[in-house]
Copies of this chain bind each other. A is one copy, B any other.
Amino acid sequence: MRSENLVERIFNNEKRAISRAITIIESGNLNSTDLLKDLHKKIGNAYRIGITGPPGSGKSTLINQLTKFYIEQNKKIGVIAVDPTSPFTGGALLGDRVRMSEVGCDDNVFIRSMATRGSLGGISKKTIDAADVLDAAGYDIIIFETVGVGQSELDIAKAADTTIVVLVPGSGDSIQAMKAGLMEIADFFVLNKSDHPGADSAMTSLKTILMMRDHTEKSWMPNIINTIASENFGTIEIANEISRHRQFLERNGLFKLNREKNYKVRIKEIVEQLLNNEFWEEKRAESLQVSILKVVDGKTSPYQIAETLFNDFITSLKK
């Protein structure tokens, strides 16, 4: 009953209900599965934008400006920021969040930080689940903010309809971005702080890298937008480029196709979790503990142990 009540309150865009739902998701509590199943009929209308880039590239300021722009267009905007966690303090590095507080109190804006503490890969699933809650609550646009370094961050970016990579002049960021696989996911680039020294050469090297990219005539060619976020210069251009990309996706049937791909990845992840939970029951986990000692002593191979445990699992189900 309480869950149904929560679902109704989310459908009514009650911020406290949304917060609570995301907390349930963060905790990894099994209730989140039921909750998300109950929400599904209202999920799928929000447009999802991924914004990633190195720390200090001005992502938060850009998102702040973009959010204001969308508010003026009577849109409801959700922002989910994935913060790398300091392993020493245990908390998320929230400095950037402070700058967002300017728009955070608006009724049409919901901002949430999700910390990556201790979660190995699970963060992308949780972040996307949180976006689904906002989607169900009627938010038109959901922005994922990530620091573009790890696999989880790339996974989140891939789950967006449009992904923007923010870079700044200097410090060889474009080369770094290429190495980290960011080029692959960028639907367009923002060269922020474009009044800083080195902006021209950063632009040149970005263009060079983009020219190396394989592309057929009809495919999307990522643009580079110059901005100075601190002066609100370039915000409209970003919004226009997002619209242009959205239209491109819809015109070419790619919007649905991308979402299909993302759901596929997601279902596979959920299945993997269900399989792991089923497999690692108490007895099997204990058996693993014993077997490991044999591996350490060189008496057997991890592959042999895994196979034995696996065969035992299949056999036990057949009984």
Contact = CB atoms under 8 A, between A and B. Distances in A.
A292 B263 contact: yes
Contacts of A86: 178-179, 183
How many copies of the shown chain assemble into the complex? 2
Contact of A288 (B184, B264, B280): B264
Interface string A259-298: 1100110111011101110111000000011011101101
A306 interface: yes
A36 B178 contact: no
A87 interface: yes
Interface stretch (A4-12, A190-198, A208-216): A208-216
Interface centre among A39, A179, A298 (most CB of B within 10 A): A179
B87 A184 contact: yes
A309 to B, nearest CB: 6
A133 interface: no
Given A151-B150, A267-B302, A306-B274, A179 B93 contact: yes
A286 to B, nearest CB: 12
A251 interface: no
Contact of A296 (B263, B291, B304, B318): B263
Given A151-B120, A256-B296, A298-B43, A271 B309 contact: yes
Interface of A: 33, 36-37, 39-44, 55-56, 84-89, 93, 120-121, 147, 149-152, 171-172, 175-176, 178-181, 183-184, 209, 212-214, 256, 259-260, 263-264, 266-268, 270-272, 274-276, 278-280, 288-289, 291-293, 295-296, 298, 300-307, 309-310, 313-314, 317-318
A303 B209 contact: no
Contacts of A178: 86-88
B150 A40 contact: no
Contact of A179 (B147, B280, B298): B147
17 contacts: A36-B301, A43-B301, A86-B178, A87-B181, A88-B178, A88-B209, A88-B213, A151-B152, A263-B295, A263-B296, A267-B288, A267-B291, A267-B295, A271-B279, A271-B310, A274-B310, A275-B276
Contacts of A184: 87
Contact of A275 (B40, B41, B150, B275): B275
A96 to B, nearest CB: 11
A222 B309 CA distance: 38
A180 B149 CA distance: 8
A235 B37 CA distance: 57
Contact of A306 (B43, B214, B267): B267
B36 A121 contact: no
